Amino acid sequence: RKKKFGMEYLTLQEENATPEKLEACNKKANDDIAELKEQIKKHEEDIAKQNQERDRTIEENNAKSPKASSGATPATVAPAAPAAPVEPPKVDAPKVDAPKE
């Protein structure tokens, strides 16, 4: 839209259009901007409404949850117990007599 306006305005200038025609081109662009602002406002209102509905649903679900009354936070994993010391396996080694002197 911006490009279209720019091209239209420049074309009018090249053609030595009257100030009234240039003003009409500006008015058309401003009207277009106003329409876009209205569309943006409507979209923002729709988004805000959806966010409110989402928040309400979350609150309702939290109220129904049995954990909600205990003020529980999301599940966490308890730290693991320390591991028992590992002893090396016992190997039966043949008995060797000390050398005789």
Kindly give the confidence (pLDDT) of every residue in the chain, 101 residues in length, as a single tens digit, with 9 standing for 90 and above. 667 778 888 888 889 999 999 999 999 989 998 999 999 999 999 999 999 999 999 999 998 877 645 555 555 666 666 666 666 666 565 555 655 65
Residue type, 54: R
Inter-CA distances, 17 with 10, 21, 27, 28, 29, Å: 10, 6, 15, 16, 17
Per-residue model confidence (pLDDT) at position 6: 81
The CA distance from 89 to 51, in Å, is 63
Distance CA 28, CA 46 (A): 27
